[in-house]
Amino acid sequence: MLDVSYLRKKRHVLEEALRKRGYSLAILDELTEIDARRREIITKANELRAKKNEISKKIGELRRRGEDASHLMEEAKKYDELLSELKEKEKEYDRKFWDLWGYVPNIPHESVPVGPDESANVVVREWGERREFRFTPRPHWDIAELLGILDWKSATEMSGSRFVTYRGLGARLERALINYFLDTHTKNGYTEIFPPILVKPEALYASGHLPKFHEEMYYINEDNLYLIPTAEASLANLHRGQVIPEDKLPLYYVAYTPCFRREAGSHGRDVRGIIRMHQFNKVELFKYTKPEESYEEHEKMVQDAERILQALGIPYRVVLLSTGDMGFAAAKTYDIEVWAPGLGRWLEASSVSNVEDFQARRANVKLKRKNGKTEYVHMLNGSGLATPRVFIAILENFQQEDGSVVIPEVLRPYMGVDAIRPE
RNA sequence: GGAGAGGUGGCCGAGCGGCCGAAGGCGGCGGCUUGCUAAGCCGUUGAGGGGAGCAUAUCCCCUCCGAGGGUUCGAAUCCCUCCCUCUCCGCCA
């Protein structure tokens, strides 16, 4: 959520932000109208309340002296009728306003390329050499089939499409990735967290996933809880309502969690393999920083994710997302895409965003300066990394002609083998 | 799941219908002291919103004592619902 003063005092900034993102500006007119009405009502109600409070105070004084106050009590009652109506309206407009304000996205940082969609994204750098194959590289689902490490039949039978069962060294590889990621990041100063995976709606409002993305998440009506779509949702709530002394910042967190997404809008897309799953594993990085340091920390976070791919030897590129492709809460986002030779395309394995104070405002996380002043912290999140796409990249990049897959050096201690071979 | 206790400012903690945005302590900030010295003394110190204002200066008002309702002229204080914490019992990986 943005600071409301943008609507009143810096409307041009908002307009520009919405235009850059390709959003309609209509919402601003609606907001302005509701806001004007809302303030009108608040002002009126406050005046009435002030008068009524005054009378009540007098009654108190009279009563204490043991004098009669019935005439004043009559007068006070008159205000009740006037107020009760206004109070209803006040609530109504307040709710309307804040609900709608929740649909206003974050303002893109000035360094973000402007464009309608991913076509305007900018490749910032590319790492590693894409391997030349002497044979036609297979897509990961064929390799997995040969190796017997992914079992689609059991998963679809027990859970449906977009679920998979990892088997044998496949399950082992998944676990190895999670552990390797966690071990690497904790060595780099991130504190490991294992958060709840079911969270309350309030938590998702704070992270910015609600109200907009209800449809994208699994919701358990019985208990009013959501399955998290990413650990970001949990980590953004780690310090809810807290005031953090500035010398404690920045805070670095890393968390492994499964993630759950309904993928409601992507029927028919990426249906084969493990590119797009309802349930997948991800190791998430998260930072709480001072506002003036967040962009520097953003760059560092991208590099922390990149280092993992470098150690694994997977070719990748870093893409700066354009205004039209960026997420709702983000002010600036880099994607890290791994090369998948079997598919012949780049796959997003990480998305690293600076949301500035967008989440902090709703989660109410502040920092206290040395001079006693408080302000909202900046929050950053990034995958470090999502396992399925790294899993794919390993299979496809390190496949041999006979279908076996060579395990990267750094994973061997976790795997216990140097290759996965056909059964 | 059952029985009970409780949720108050950055933290601890008093208050249990009006004089309470809230005693006291700790912490923070400012100052004084420098023979009680890893101290003492004095002062100061919550958040959000609305209005006036060039103003992130200042002033006025409203709201906030877990959240949401209710009773009352008036609620931190009384009633209801929900959330959370703790204790005991039950169940259980």
Q: Is the CB of A82 under 7 A from strand B?
A: no
Q: Which residue has the tokens 């809008």?
A: A265
pLDDT of residue A423: 78
Q: Is the CB of A345 under 7 A from strand B?
A: no
Spatial neighbors of A222 by CB under 8 A, at least 6 apart, are none
Through-space separation of residue A298 CA and nucleotide B23 C1' in angstroms: 47
pTM of the model: 0.91
Question: What does the block give as tokens for A277?
Answer: 């799953």
Residue A64 designated active-site: no
Among the listed residues A175, A262, A276, A412, the single catalytic one is: A276
pLDDT of residue A151: 96
> What does the alpha-carbon distance between residue A34 and residue A31 come to, in Å, rounded to a whole number?
5
Q: Is the CB of A371 under 7 A from strand B?
A: yes
Residue A234 designated active-site: no
Q: Could you tell me if A130 and A342 are in contact, meaning their C-beta atoms sit under 8 angstroms apart?
A: no
Q: Which long-range contacts (CB under 8 A, 24 or more apart) does A9-13 make?
A: A13/A107
Amino acid at A54: E
pLDDT of residue A24: 92
Closest by alpha carbon to A149, among A339, A407, A410, A408? Answer: A407
Closest by alpha carbon to A256, among A186, A172, A173, A314? Answer: A186
> What does the alpha-carbon distance between residue A307 and residue A184 come to, in Å, rounded to a whole number?
9
Residue A159 designated active-site: no
Prior bond of A211 cis (ω within 30°): yes
By C1' distance from the Cα of A63, the closest nucleotide is: B18
Q: Is the CB of A43 under 7 A from strand B?
A: yes
Closest by alpha carbon to A146, among A339, A281, A342, A390? Answer: A342
* Helix (H/G/I), strand (E/B), else coil: A252: strand
DSSP A119: G
pLDDT of residue A108: 95
pLDDT of residue A369: 81
Q: Is the CB of A370 under 7 A from strand B?
A: yes
> What does the alpha-carbon distance between residue A286 and residue A254 come to, in Å, rounded to a whole number?
6
DSSP A398: S
Q: Is the CB of A4 under 7 A from strand B?
A: yes
Q: Could you tell me if A280 and A347 are in contact, meaning their C-beta atoms sit under 8 angstroms apart?
A: no
* Angle (nearest 5°) at CA A390 between A388 and A391: 60
Through-space separation of residue A66 CA and nucleotide B77 C1' in angstroms: 22
Through-space separation of residue A176 CA and nucleotide B37 C1' in angstroms: 59
pLDDT of residue A191: 94
pLDDT of residue A379: 94
Through-space separation of residue A422 CA and nucleotide B86 C1' in angstroms: 57
* Helix (H/G/I), strand (E/B), else coil: A254: strand
Give me the average pLDDT of each 10-residue run along chain A (423 residues).
87 92 92 91 90 89 80 84 84 87 91 94 96 95 96 93 95 97 97 92 87 88 90 91 85 95 83 93 95 94 97 97 94 97 96 93 84 85 95 97 96 97 88
Q: Which residue has the tokens 């009760």?
A: A84
Q: Is the CB of A265 under 7 A from strand B?
A: no
Among the listed residues A16, A348, A412, A421, the single catalytic one is: A348
Residue A348 designated active-site: yes
pLDDT of residue A232: 94
ipTM of the complex: 0.82
> What does the alpha-carbon distance between residue A116 and residue A120 come to, in Å, rounded to a whole number?
7
